[in-house]
Amino acid sequence: MNIPLLYSLSGLARTIHIWLAGLISNEMLLLTTEMVIMGISLIAFLVLLCFFLGYMERRVAAFMEIRLGPNRVGPKGTLQIVADTVKLLLKEGLTPDLSDKFLFNLAPLIVVITSMLVIAPIAFAKDFQLWDINIGVLYVSSVSSIAVIGILMAGWASNNKYSLLGAMRSGAQIVSYELSVGLSLISIVILSGSLSLSDIVYSQSNGWWIFKGHIPIIISFVIFVVASTAEINRAPFDMAEADQELTGGFNTEYAGMKFAMFLLSEYINLFVVSAIAATIFLGGWMPFHIGGWESFNHIMDYIPSFFWFMGKTFFIIFIIMWFRWTFPRLRVDQLLSLEWKYLLPISMVNTILITVMAIMGWHF
């Protein structure tokens, strides 16, 4: 399949690689340098992304609530988050007296690091991927569930009863919703026949799975969005924080930069989840093509693949934000009954349907 993409970030990556290879002859050193560059640029990208997501969330919330939102610092308020970050940096990094100090300080790091790790196999643009691992889907779903350990740690170490309750809620929640997320991921794995995220993207070159896979895929897409909203602890499933019940849940005792780490990880998780949904169901960086419309498809190809990826991701991010600013919070037992009585049985039946569909070749 020849995909004529004119602009791609892979060219840039290749140029840097060739330039570095000219400078450094040692293989090992070259690899290490490249990894350091990758790490720094990834962290910088994620922090900037979180700034933007924070700004976006506040503006989206404001417009839905007939308000204006932040519009004072910088043009249209874009620097508000930067100002907030400076404020958080200057705050005292308080550790409560009776807390388990080691775990208390470790927890935010674990939460942030796990959410950053999940970025690795995601294809940001055509042939532009940090780590094209052949078990990408498995990697994503297993690494993202480590985050619950960080949250449990934070809740336990704070020596605060609200924190502990929040952490326990979060534990039950993430473990249950992991199942639905996994099953919806599996439905695409069945259809594309590969666990590698880049293969899944390439399998959608003649149409995105959400269009190719009929109603079962739409169902599993909806389940994926709902379950992953729950997995990243966002309203209406923010049982672990639940400001009105637990005054902030597991991060009640955190202040300053440690609190900002939780915030950072929340936004990275939001991005990761949306990016995976975009990759798996909406074709990742694949442009939108309609069979037979050659000139239309050609115009679509002129839009760089990075923008396709980001556009789809932000579409899903917007939907998740829309959920948050519309719905009340579920109660903790209803949260679990939603998973075990509705999402899980439906996605199990759905998986069977998709398997039948894949075997019979009913999809496009």
Partner 1 sequence: MRSLIAEDYVTPEGEFVINMGPQHPSTHGVLHLKLWLNGETVNKVEPHLGYIHRSIEKMSENLSYRNFIFATSRMDYLAAHINNEACALTVEKGLGIEAPPRAKYVRTIISELTRLSSHQLWWGCTGLDLGAVTPFFYAFREREAIMEIMEETCGARLTQNYMVPGGLMVDIHPNFQKRVKEVLTLIKKNFNEYDEILTGNVIFENRTKEVGYLSKEDAISYGVTGPTARASGVSCDIRKWFPYSAYDQVQFNEILDTGGDCYARYMVRMHEMRESVSIIEQLIDNIPEGDYQTKTKAVLKLPKGEFYQRVETPRGELGVYIVSDGAASPYRIKYRSPGFSNLSALPVMAKGGKIGDLVAIMATIDLVIPDIDR
Partner 2 sequence: MFLKEYFGTIYKSVKSLLTGMKVTGYYFTHQKEILTEEYPDNRSTLKMFDRFRGEVIMPHNADNEHRCTGCQACEIACPNGTIKIITKQELMPDGKKKKRIDAFIYHLELCTMCNLCIVACPSDAIVMGQTFEHSVYDKKTLRKVLNKPGSKIMEGVE
Place of tokens 């990834």: 42
238 in Cβ contact with 329 (< 8 Å): yes
Of 290-349, binders to partner 2 (CB under 8 A) are: 322-323, 325-327, 342
Closer CB to partner 2, 288 or 323, in the complex: 323
- Dmax (CA) of the chain: 68
CB of 337 to partner 1, least distance (A): 9
CB of 347 to partner 1, least distance (A): 19
178-210 as b/e, with b when 16 or more CB fall inside 10 Å? bbbbbbbbbbbbebbebbbbbbbbbbbeebbbb
**Rounded CA gap, 223 and 212, in Å?**
17
Tell me whether strands 123-125 and 128-129 are parallel, antiparallel or unpaired: antiparallel
241 in Cβ contact with 250 (< 8 Å): yes
Residue of 38, 60, 61, 190 that binds partner 1 (CB under 8 A): 61
Tokens of 7: 């602009």
Residue of 1, 18, 66, 98 that binds partner 2 (CB under 8 A): 66
Q: How many helices (H) and strands (E) in the chain?
A: 16, 2
Residue of 37, 65, 94, 161 that binds partner 2 (CB under 8 A): 65
**Of these partners, partner 1, partner 2, none, which one is at the site of residue 322 (CB under 5 to 8 Å by kind)?**
partner 2
**Of these partners, partner 1, partner 2, none, which one is at the site of residue 348 (CB under 5 to 8 Å by kind)?**
none
Of 245-304, binders to partner 1 (CB under 8 A) are: 245-247
**Of these partners, partner 2, partner 1, none, which one is at the site of residue 101 (CB under 5 to 8 Å by kind)?**
none
Closer CB to partner 2, 263 or 321, in the complex: 321
Q: Which amino acid is at 214?
A: H
Cβ contacts of residue 121 below 8 Å, gap of 6+? 129, 130, 131, 132, 133, 136, 139, 140, 196, 197
**Rounded CA gap, 270 and 293, in Å?**
35
Of 214-253, binders to partner 1 (CB under 8 A) are: 235-236, 238, 242-247
Closer CB to partner 1, 98 or 360, in the complex: 98
Residue 159 in contact with partner 1, rule: CB under 8 A: yes
Residues that bind partner 2 (CB under 8 A): 60, 63-68, 322-323, 325-327, 342
Residues that bind partner 1 (CB under 8 A): 61, 64-67, 98, 100, 159, 161-162, 165, 169, 235-236, 238, 242-247, 325-334
